[in-house]
Amino acid sequence: MTAQHALQTRDLGLGYGEREIISGLDVDLPPGRLTVVVGPNACGKSTLLRAMARLLTPTAGTVLLDGRDIHATPTKQVAAALGMLPQTPVAPDAITVSDLVGRGRYPHQGWFRRWTAADSEGVAAAMLATDVLDLADRSVDELSGGQRQRVWIAMALAQETDILLLDEPTTYLDISHQLDVLDLLTDLNRDRGVTLGVVLHDLNLACRYADHLIAMKDGRVVAEGTPSDIVTESLVRDVFGLRSTVIPDPASGTPMIVPLGRHHVTSPNP
Amino acid sequence: MKTPTAQAAARVERLRQARRNRFALVCASLVLAALAGLLLSLAVGDIDVPLADVWAVLTGGGDPGSRFVVHELRLPRALLALAVGLCFGLSGAVFQALLRNPLASPDIIGVSAGASAAAVLASMAFGLSGLALSGGALAGALLAGTLIYLLAWRGGVSGGRFVLIGIGVAAGLVSLRSYLMTRAEVTEAQNAFVWLAGSLNGRSWDQLWPLLASAALLVPLTLAASRSLTALQLGDEAAGGLGARVERGRLALLACATALVGVATAAAGPIGFVAFVSPPIARRLLPGQGAALVPAALTGAALVCAADFTAQHVLPGVQLPVGVVTSVVGAPYLLWLLARAGSSGRGG
């Protein structure tokens, strides 16, 4: 995966029916980097991700894949460049891990081009990268949440795209599995050069893992850049309406947000 | 020394091969079961024809007596049973996989009800019979399917909504049908009731040919359209991410599955529960293999064949409609499914 595709939005407007969620949005997904989108609930971050994956038709503006309107690009070509893992994909009853991962090869197949050795290799590589090979013949139903999420990521990886969008891949996972998933995504980014766009809830994990952070509120980008450059107490207040203290993360040196509520705060402004 | 990826690929390939082998084995067994059912239906009856003579007739020989019994009386009926079961089984499997709901079967969500209401209307109000009546049933199925699709449309179609609206449409169509029956003469009504139970009694080559021709068109179309099912089963967003044309793929599959029910109902009446129980039986035989469309179709064929044989011979001197037998199997499964869904909070 050496070809780097670029994904951008220009003057993008999005909405459901009459309700406008995003307007005039310009966002770039830096190629070869891990970009994290954060923001409060209903700020439009998942909507943005869905539009970037061509799952949602813009009401205005365009999403550009390599400079070309993604809605004017043939579906196959989009699916060859760009994969998307939604927040709640559905596993068919009793499906096995290898079968589910194999479905990631869908865009590589056609009515007359069935399964080939390249498909088996793509699936195998994806399962090795996500460490789910030993689960290959297990039923997805019986896996733990963390294992299941790794299997879904393997499915998306088997598509062999060099852009991968993930909508809250760590939701419903306990903290150690959240770290597993983010470490895995970092490996994919560093070892294979996959461009990642990830929506996350946890600000501190976002700051630690993001090369590029996009903070959204009310359908607008409030700030974007490396976490160390943009994350400040005033940004956290602007975006989340939250009082906080920002200190260097003792493990990584990236910004760490210590939220301040009304109780249990001994030194309001240390 | 193989690389780890090559070893892993070999393992993936082995698992895939094992799955395919099992698939082939199950399909072959189902074909054998259906063929056994076919031979049995040809051999056994008021006049028993030895299997050797059945074989002789099928290969173009045989004495005139056996020839008449096997070729004119029993073969069209048995083939019709297989073809109708095939269409119902395939259609049910498509509906259930597509709408991700074991209740989403054409005989429960109103597609079959549309076919029967239209058939009753056609025969009573317009005095149609034969092929015209079948055409009416097909049109009714397609109309009901279109109506459900349009009512369920909200910038896309979700499974749960489709099923609930389908059940509502079914209720409406059944009451329409009942109203039409109250206006009918007794003999008309009795004929209609037999048709509505789903019956293969007295079916001949005349009903078989249109069905075989339609099935020869619709079954390959459905299987071709089912390619997108691989992606659609993962939910609309994941399917879109994989590059499937979600709404178009779903519409094509729904149209094929609805037409399959229409042509099968036109030929034999709405034989209850075949579309509903065949897919879960097939999925049970092939756990974790997705929609199992072909096995479900074969299960349907074997099931209707066996049910019709039972219907003909279980009570001496009485020919039951085959739908009575399939309902005896299907109704308890429906109850079990509802009870289980009620207690576990999900539909299967």
CATH of the domain at A168: 3.40.50.300
Report pLDDT for A1: 44
With bands split at pLDDT 50, 70 and 90, how would you rate the model's confidence at A244?
very high
C-beta atoms of A117 and B289 within 8 A: no
**CA-CA distance, A25 to A41, in Å (whole number)?**
18
Q: Domain of A253?
A: 7-259
Average pLDDT over residues B159-173: 91
Q: With respect to residue A163, please indicate whether it lies within any of the assigned structural domains.
A: yes
| CB-CB neighbors (< 8 A) of B241 in chain A | 53, 55, 79, 82-86, 156, 159, 165
Kindly tell me if the per-residue pLDDT of B257 is higher than 90: yes
Kindly tell me if the per-residue pLDDT of B281 is higher than 60: yes
H or E element that contains A164: strand A163-167
Neighbours of B105 (CB within 10 A): 31
Report pLDDT for A2: 47
Kindly tell me if the per-residue pLDDT of A103 is higher than 50: yes
Neighbours of A196 (CB within 10 A): 24
B37, two tokens: 């059912």
C-beta atoms of B242 and A106 within 8 A: yes
The larger pLDDT score, comparing residue A75 to residue A225, is at: A225
Counting Cα atoms < 13 Å in the Cβ hemisphere of B152 gives 25
C-beta atoms of B6 and A137 within 8 A: no
Average pLDDT over residues A21-36: 93
- B175-184, B222-231, B265-274, range with greatest mean pLDDT: B222-231
The shortest C-alpha distance from B304 to chain A (Å) reads 26
Q: With respect to residue A145, please indicate whether it lies within any of the assigned structural domains.
A: yes
Q: With respect to residue A150, please indicate whether it lies within any of the assigned structural domains.
A: yes
Average pLDDT over residues B168-192: 86
Q: Please say whether the beta carbons of B162 and B109 come within 8 A.
A: yes
Which ipTM did the prediction report? 0.88
C-beta atoms of A127 and B8 within 8 A: yes
H or E element that contains B40: helix B4-43
The larger pLDDT score, comparing residue B345 to residue B20, is at: B20
Report pLDDT for B342: 57
Interface test with B, best of A70, A96, A98 (most B CBs within 10 A): A98
With bands split at pLDDT 50, 70 and 90, how would you rate the model's confidence at A17?
confident
Chain B residues touching chain A at CB-CB below 8 Å: 4-6, 8-13, 15-16, 19, 97, 100, 155, 224, 227, 230-231, 233-238, 240-245, 283, 287-291, 348
Kindly tell me if the per-residue pLDDT of B35 is higher than 80: yes
Average pLDDT over residues B281-291: 86
Report pLDDT for B343: 56
Q: With respect to residue A265, please indicate whether it lies within any of the assigned structural domains.
A: no
Among B43-47, B254-258, B276-280, name the one with the lowest average pLDDT: B43-47
Q: Please say whether the beta carbons of A39 and A215 come within 8 A.
A: yes
Overall domain count for chain A: 1
**CA-CA distance, A239 to A38, in Å (whole number)?**
9
Report pLDDT for A269: 56
Kindly tell me if the per-residue pLDDT of B21 is higher than 70: yes
Report pLDDT for A11: 92
- B15-29, B131-145, B260-274, range with greatest mean pLDDT: B15-29
Q: With respect to residue A270, please indicate whether it lies within any of the assigned structural domains.
A: no
Average pLDDT over residues B130-156: 87
In degrees, rounded to 5, the angle at the alpha carbon of residue B303 between the alpha carbons of residues B301 and B308 is 100
B239, two tokens: 């399917």
Q: What percentage of chain A carries pLDDT values higher than 90?
A: 69
**CA-CA distance, A120 to B193, in Å (whole number)?**
54
For residue range A35-77, what is the model confidence (pLDDT) as tens digits?
999 999 889 999 999 999 999 899 999 999 999 999 999 888 8
Nearest in space to B246 (alpha carbons), one of A90, A150, A152: A90
With bands split at pLDDT 50, 70 and 90, how would you rate the model's confidence at B341?
low
Q: Please say whether the beta carbons of A107 and A160 come within 8 A.
A: no
**CA-CA distance, A82 to A105, in Å (whole number)?**
13
Report pLDDT for B135: 84
**CA-CA distance, B244 to B230, in Å (whole number)?**
9
C-beta atoms of B243 and A79 within 8 A: yes
Size of interface A-B (CB pairs under 8 A): 126
**CA-CA distance, B166 to B155, in Å (whole number)?**
18
Kindly tell me if the per-residue pLDDT of A115 is higher than 90: no
Kindly tell me if the per-residue pLDDT of A164 is higher than 90: yes
The shortest C-alpha distance from A152 to chain B (Å) reads 10
Nearest in space to B96 (alpha carbons), one of B81, B85, B107: B107
Neighbours of A114 (CB within 10 A): 9
Q: With respect to residue A156, please indicate whether it lies within any of the assigned structural domains.
A: yes
For residue range A182-211, what is the model confidence (pLDDT) as tens digits?
999 999 999 989 999 999 999 999 999 999
Kindly tell me if the per-residue pLDDT of A252 is higher than 80: yes
| Residue A82 φ/ψ, nearest 5 degrees | -140, 125
Kindly tell me if the per-residue pLDDT of A107 is higher than 70: yes
Nearest in space to A124 (alpha carbons), one of B18, B289, B16: B16
Report pLDDT for A109: 85
For residue range A121-138, what is the model confidence (pLDDT) as tens digits?
999 999 998 999 999 999
Nearest in space to B253 (alpha carbons), one of B119, B154, B159, B134: B159
H or E element that contains A98: helix A97-102
Q: With respect to residue A266, please indicate whether it lies within any of the assigned structural domains.
A: no
Report pLDDT for B125: 78
**CA-CA distance, A152 to A97, in Å (whole number)?**
9
Is residue B66 helix, strand or coil?
helix
With bands split at pLDDT 50, 70 and 90, how would you rate the model's confidence at B119?
confident
B130, two tokens: 């034969």
Average pLDDT over residues B121-127: 81
Q: Which residues are bridge partners to A255 per DSSP?
A: A248
Of A17, A54, A76, the CB nearest to B240: A54
Residues in chain A: 270
Q: With respect to residue A269, please indicate whether it lies within any of the assigned structural domains.
A: no
Average pLDDT over residues B192-199: 77
Kindly tell me if the per-residue pLDDT of B320 is higher than 90: no
* Sequence-distant (≥ 6) Cβ neighbours of residue A210 within 8 angstroms: A34, A35, A36, A226, A227
Q: What percentage of chain B carries pLDDT values higher than 70?
A: 97
Cβ-count burial of B324 within 10 angstroms (0-12 exposed, 13-18 middle, 19+ buried)? middle
**CA-CA distance, B253 to B221, in Å (whole number)?**
9
Q: What's CA A267's distance to the chain center, in Å?
A: 36
